[in-house]
Structure formats: C-alpha cells, structure tokens
Structure 1
C-alpha cells in the first residue's frame, strides 16, 4: 500500500519542475511546496486512518480494489481514480519534458542536446515525445504494483540525496550554506536513513536497480564537461574529511618510516623543466608530491608591467604580466602529471633575486601541514649561477630539507632509464637518502641497481665487500641489487665505471658545485648529488 500511496503525494515536485516558468520561484516554490505537503499529509493520513478503521488489515494487504468496492457510488470512485491518474500524468507531461529540456540545454549527459529542441510554440516537442514513449513502454511491460514500486525507488533516492546534501553542508560548516528555512541536523540525517530503509523494505531488487541507474548517471555526469553552473558538495566534503584526518595526524609523532619523496623544485630554465619532469615523476611515484616554483625578478617584472599599462592605454596590444604568463606556463607543463593523478603544486614568486625568493618559499611551505622534505635543484648549463646553487643547498639544509642536485647531461639525458649506479663510501652521512632515491628509480624504471664503492688499494677490497653485503642485508635491499668494488683513484675510475643511465653520489658537507660538474663530465652521464636530513631512514 505504501508504494501505491507514495507516488500520489509526489505532486509536491510540480512547482519545482515548473520553476523556469514562475515569476518568483524563490518565493513561490517554498510556499507552494509546504502548502502541498500540508494538504497532502492531512488528506492521505485521514484516508489511511479511515481505511484502517473500516476494513480488516488482512483485506487491505491483498485487495488492491478495496477503494472501489467500499464506495457508495462506485462509478464516482472510478472517475476519481481516473481523474487523479490523468491529472498526475498531465503534471508529469508538463514537468518531466522541461527537466529534460534544461538538461539538454546544459548538455548534462551524453546525447542530451536532442532534448534542447523546441517547436514554434516554444514547447520541448522532442522531450515530450520521449516522455510519452517511455511512459507507454513502462505501462505495457509492467503491472501497476511494479511501476509504483519502481517509481517509489527513484523518488526516495531523490529525497534521500536532498537530505544527505543538506546534512553534509550543515556538517562541514561552509559559510555559503545559508538556507532561509533552517532545520536541525538530525532531521536531514534521519530523512536520509529513512529513505534508504524504506526503499529496501518495499523492494530490495528495485532498490538495487535504482541505485545502479543513479550511479551510472552520476558517473556520466562527472565525466561530462558541462558548462552549467552546478555547485556540489564533493570537494567541500573531501576537504572537510582531509582536515579532520590532518588534525588527528598532527597530534602524532613523526617517524622516518612514513617518509616519501616530496620534492620542492625551484625552476630557472623552463625548457629544461620539460626534460626533467619525467625523471621527477619516476622519483616520486606512486604517492610522492611535487611543489614547483619559479622566482621572477621583481625589478624587471615591474618595468614590464608598467610598459603593459602604458601600451594598454594607447590601444596597442600589451604583453602579459610575467608572473601571470609564467603561472600559466607552469600549469600547462605539469598538466600531464596532474592528469596521471600525481599531486603537483606550482607557484610563481616575485623577489629581488632567486636565492631570496627561494628561501622565502622554503620558509613558507615548511610551515604547511604537508611540507616538502627534499629540495631538487637542476644545475644550469653554464656556471654563472653556481653560487646560487650552493646557497640554495645550504639554505635548504638550514630549513631541515634534504637536497638533490641534478647535473643534466644534454647528450646522454637519462639514457634508457634502466640502470642506476649508486656510489657509496663507508660511514657516508648521505646513505639513507641515496638508498631511498635509488630504490625509487629502480622500481619505477623497472631497472637494475648497482652499488659501487671505490677503494684505494687491493687490500681494502674485502673489507669494502663485507661492508656492502652488510649494507644490503641491513637495508633490506632486493636480492638482484649488484655490488661492484673498484680499486684506484676516484676521478680516474669514473670513466671505467659500469655503464648506467644515472649515477648517484653523496654530497660533501660544504656543497662543491664545480666537483659535481667535473664528475658529470668525466662519467659522461647525468648525475645526482644528495645530502641527507634527519627526516629519512633506509633502516625504517
């Protein structure tokens, strides 16, 4: 009986369906809806109460024609049922095509543009015909009870989602949620639970069907690039949940075991960034983060911006503000990574010089809840900015960051992206970061990791081998990690080293940028020089 009664009171949606044709929908819809609810509630509660008093409950459960049989003038009851049915049908024929029309105008779902067509009289003829055809098919292939149950499922889902949306927006406390009609949070919560419970109480099979249909439509909707303004609560809900977890996590101590590469990348050469981005991706995958920033010289930026305003006043084409242009360019360069669901942030900072701007960024992001833990710097081709590189490394260490300095070889690039040589020395203070980065590259390149150590005489070979075997065991390195011991002078042996696509070295306490360039030139590959902080541990 509930499934038959329920669609009868859904006429309260008629006003909302016609909102596009109301003079003042903001005022008319609430008044009309509340009035309809009140009248419908009174009529149907009294009618249900009268049936329960006059007719045995067993009879009500099985006899769907009891209203006709109990009527004094049966033909009037039949006429009333026919009138109500036709009235509901007409209301749906008026409202439903206009809903399809609105969806078609905004291309909400694929192929919906067809329903945006209107005839000479302004009627959505295509949507009306589709509604009529769908209604006829439903009537031909289903009984009244089945149709009532199916319709009830979708109405309950609609009401349930409205209640859920209200409950979520009340819970996350966003200022934009300012309803003129306020209710306690328990009401939308209980409304959501009740709608779902009643659905499965009526018919579990149709409930599953309705949920699947709604889910498919939702997936299509979020994949459709609709131009309609359609605010939703997904982002607000996710931010709220993330904030709650962040608050809980902030109360817990940090352990090196949870370390993952979160790189802070200052950019000087925008063209070289294109070459380095795939390499950065292979360092941070699968769950690391990138924060990429570019420092703009404030003096040159202000001069160009002044020129822009002068040319704009003269009516000539004005250049784009450098900061805005670089922001757009950075966003475009990292779009591919974001499309791969990699967490990337970009920023452009104005400062008198690169070092000052970079330090400001380090200090700023260091106070965030998700701060970078490693600075990644790419050396320029020439050495005129080496003092900046050295200053950045020292400042990053002062801010508690690890350091990775890349000398990119334009001839070798990153080779086949397979073999990794990790050069170590006994008791190296940089062994933890070196091991972790080498393992990241090995995994994401699906390549070979080789640990290389240099000793000055043959007598030290066995001791070095024992150290590397112990290191391999203690650090829980994969069994296929290779070990190579070289005897002689370090710089002389670079040319004889096993071939690799990237060579990784530890950095001296005081950064020697000239040494990095010399090593890269001697070995003939791109090289990484790394410095540990206290945040990582390969033993964890």
Structure 2
C-alpha cells in the first residue's frame, strides 16, 4: 500500500510480456492463453466459495464504482437505456408466488426485481428466508433479484421509508409494483404509498388479478388511450401518461409472444379521424409493428364492455383511483387489469 507507482507501469508490463510471449513462440503463447481462459471459465461455473475475495471481485467492484461515479449526473436521463427495475412490497408470500411469472415477464431480460418485505419484528420470522428463496428463483430464471425486510407495523410507512431511502442509490427502482389483494386496505395503505411514489417520481403499476380469468392465454393486451379532446398532435416527446403503459405492454408482448391493441374512446364523431391518425403516428414513432387499433364513439364506461376481449387490460391513471373503479374495470372487461402511472422519466419514442 505504501509502494506507489505510476498507473502506466503495470499496463506496460502486461503489454510487453504478452508481446514477448508471441515473439518467442506465437503458437505456444496462443495455446497458453486459451488454456488460461478455459480454466477460468471452468472454475467460474463451479461456484467455489473461498474465505477471501479473488481478483475478479476486486476488479468488478472497482469497475462498478468507477462507472457509477462517472454516470451519477445522468441517473435520471435514461430514456434510451430504460429497463423495468421493479420494487415489489411483500407481506403475503403466496400473493408474490401468484404473480411470479407476471413480474418476470415485465422485467426480463435486462430489468431487475427488488423484493421489499414488510412485517413487524418477531424472533420466529421466516419472511426474509422466503423472499431470498424467491429472489434466487428469479435469478435462476434470468432476472436479477434481491430482497430485504423492513420491520414495522405500518405497511404504508414501511414502503415509503424504503422508497425514500433508495432515492440516494444509483441503481434505484424506477417502478413500484402493487398487487391489489382482498386483505389490502386500499384507502389507508395503498393510496398513501401511491401518492408518495408520485411525489418521488417513481412509476406505479397497480395490478388487479381477475379471480377466474387470471391472465388467460397471454395472447392479447389492450392498452387504453385517454381521450385527448382536440389535442391529438404529437409534439416533441410528451405523449401524456402513456409511456410506461406502452413500454410494459411491449415487454409483455415480447415475452408472451402476444399482440398489442391500442384503444381510445371519443365522445364526438368529428374527433374520430384525428384519433385514428394519432394512434397511427404513435405506432410509427414508437416502432410498434403489427399493433392493432380501435377508435370508438361514445362514453368510456359503455365502450369498456363492448371492446374486444383481451388477457390483460392496461389503463392509465393520472392520480390515485377510486377503489370501486378498479374493481369495476376488472369486472366489466372480464380480465386482469393493470393501472399505470408514469414517473416522467420514460419515453416510448426514445
């Protein structure tokens, strides 16, 4: 540690040594390098545990720290490199198991899932172990996942504390996934969490699983576009509260091999042509080939029943929604529903 040398010295030694090897005997040098790489690959796959760190761990940690420091100022400007990094609050492990594949298909292949357990502290608690087992299952199936537990009696406060603490992290979640279950207190637990997420500029996915249809055949996804009422021109990158809805639909389309259908309802026949042109332009700019569109004239509630069936219906929400509306949409569409709020940092057009 006290022997200081210039940074170029080890690089000079490495390059000159490799150069000397190939000057002496190119064939043996190439064979030696191949053997070293093969041994490294073999030992890496053995998952060997050592009481000390090896060269790889120090190298990877140093590189990760360097990259994080040099990109810190751009951590909110990642529209082109957007990935679904989910934070999933959990107090019912069975509910998490029921949405396992749905979460995996939203995050796969480059996203991540952070499981946040919320429960009062007890010596006999097994929640941390259960969450780590599920995290390991996510990792085994190709999605990076980690888990932690916050001990508190207040479900909403526990989630909000976790969200606030992670604001200072570099790889922080950009989506909060809430699985609406019968035992949840929507008004006193989920609404405060959604309001705090909106304040912190975190995207929200509120999922209501249909009790009998579940996720159906996973063939079709309806994305509902709100009535823009005369504002049908796409100006710049601002398309309203649509970016996250379409991004999630696209991820599911790719992982389910499904089709996307964009639907909007206008209350005036004069707006129909503008609405169709808007959807056509959106599909072109967002690079969404083979996407179906539907434009209906009437009221939203009336047309929800008449819309073509889908395995998942995605609705946008500008603010927290009434509980009755959420349950009503699932009943009227006879499908599972996902209610989405943008964080403001996504762009389907990027």
User: The TM-score by the shorter chain falls in which range?
Assistant: 0.7 to 0.9
Describe the shift of the 1:528–1:399 C-alpha distance in structure 2 as closer, same or farther (beyond 3 A): same
Aligned-partner Cα distance in 2 for 1:192–1:257: 37
Equivalence for 1:438: 249
Equivalence for 2:262: 451
CA contact (8 A) 1:426 1:467 kept: no
Aligned-partner Cα distance in 2 for 1:504–1:240: 41
Per-residue displacement from partner, 1:77-124 (whole Å, max 9, x unpaired)? Answer: xxxxxxxxxxxxxxxxxxxxxxxxxxxxxxxxxxxxxxxxxxxxxxxx
Describe the shift of the 1:400–1:476 C-alpha distance in structure 2 as closer, same or farther (beyond 3 A): closer
Q: Superposition RMSD on alpha carbons, in Å? A: 2.4
Deviation at 1:423, TM superposition (A): 0.7
Deviation at 1:194, TM superposition (A): 4.2
Equivalence for 1:370: 171
Deviation at 1:346, TM superposition (A): 1.1
- Structure with the higher helix share, 1 or 2: 1
Q: Secondary structure at the match of 2:216?
A: coil
Aligned-partner Cα distance in 1 for 2:347–2:49: 48
Equivalence for 1:402: 203
Deviation at 1:229, TM superposition (A): 4.2
Per-residue displacement from partner, 1:11-64 (whole Å, max 9, x unpaired)? Answer: xxxxxxxxxxxxxxxxxxxxxxxxxxxxxxxxxxxxxxxxxxxxxxxxxxxxxx
- Structure with the higher strand share, 1 or 2: 2
Equivalence for 2:235: none
Deviation at 1:230, TM superposition (A): 5.9
Equivalence for 2:290: 480
Aligned pair partner of 2:129 in 306, 314, 328: 328
Aligned-partner Cα distance in 2 for 1:192–1:519: 65
Q: Secondary structure at the match of 2:39?
A: helix
Q: Secondary structure at the match of 1:530?
A: strand
What does 1:84-233 correspond to in 2, within 5 Å? 184=5, 189-226=11-48, 229=51, 231-233=53-55
Describe the shift of the 1:453–1:190 C-alpha distance in structure 2 as closer, same or farther (beyond 3 A): closer
Q: Which sections of structure 1, spanning at least 5 residues, go unmatched?
A: 1-177, 306-319
Describe the shift of the 1:239–1:288 C-alpha distance in structure 2 as closer, same or farther (beyond 3 A): same
CA contact (8 A) 1:389 1:513 kept: no
CA contact (8 A) 2:227 2:265 kept: no
CA contact (8 A) 1:455 1:485 kept: yes
Per-residue displacement from partner, 1:232-268 (whole Å, max 9, x unpaired)? Answer: 1212111111111111112447433333222221123
Aligned-partner Cα distance in 2 for 1:183–1:207: 31
Describe the shift of the 1:224–1:488 C-alpha distance in structure 2 as closer, same or farther (beyond 3 A): same
What does 1:162-311 correspond to in 2, within 5 Å? 184=5, 189-226=11-48, 229=51, 231-252=53-74, 254-255=76-77, 256-297=79-120, 301=121, 304-305=122-123
Could you say which structure has the larger radius of gyration?
1
Q: TM-score by structure 1 length?
A: 0.58
Aligned-partner Cα distance in 1 for 2:48–2:111: 31
2:332 pairs with 1:531: no
Aligned-partner Cα distance in 2 for 1:496–1:208: 68
Equivalence for 2:301: 491
Deviation at 1:417, TM superposition (A): 1.8
Aligned-partner Cα distance in 2 for 1:339–1:383: 30
CA contact (8 A) 1:390 1:513 kept: no
Describe the shift of the 1:465–1:226 C-alpha distance in structure 2 as closer, same or farther (beyond 3 A): closer
Deviation at 1:441, TM superposition (A): 1.5
Per-residue displacement from partner, 1:361-381 (whole Å, max 9, x unpaired)? Answer: 000011111111121111012
Deviation at 1:460, TM superposition (A): 4.4
Q: Secondary structure at the match of 2:99?
A: helix
CA contact (8 A) 2:309 2:333 kept: no
Aligned-partner Cα distance in 2 for 1:194–1:279: 52
What does 1:314-353 correspond to in 2, within 5 Å? 320=124, 322=125, 325-353=126-154
Q: TM-score by structure 2 length?
A: 0.87
Per-residue displacement from partner, 1:265-320 (whole Å, max 9, x unpaired)? Answer: 112321121121211122122222222201112xxx2xx43xxxxxxxxxxxxxx3
Q: Secondary structure at the match of 1:283?
A: helix
Q: Secondary structure at the match of 1:334?
A: helix
2:275 pairs with 1:464: yes
Describe the shift of the 1:384–1:355 C-alpha distance in structure 2 as closer, same or farther (beyond 3 A): closer
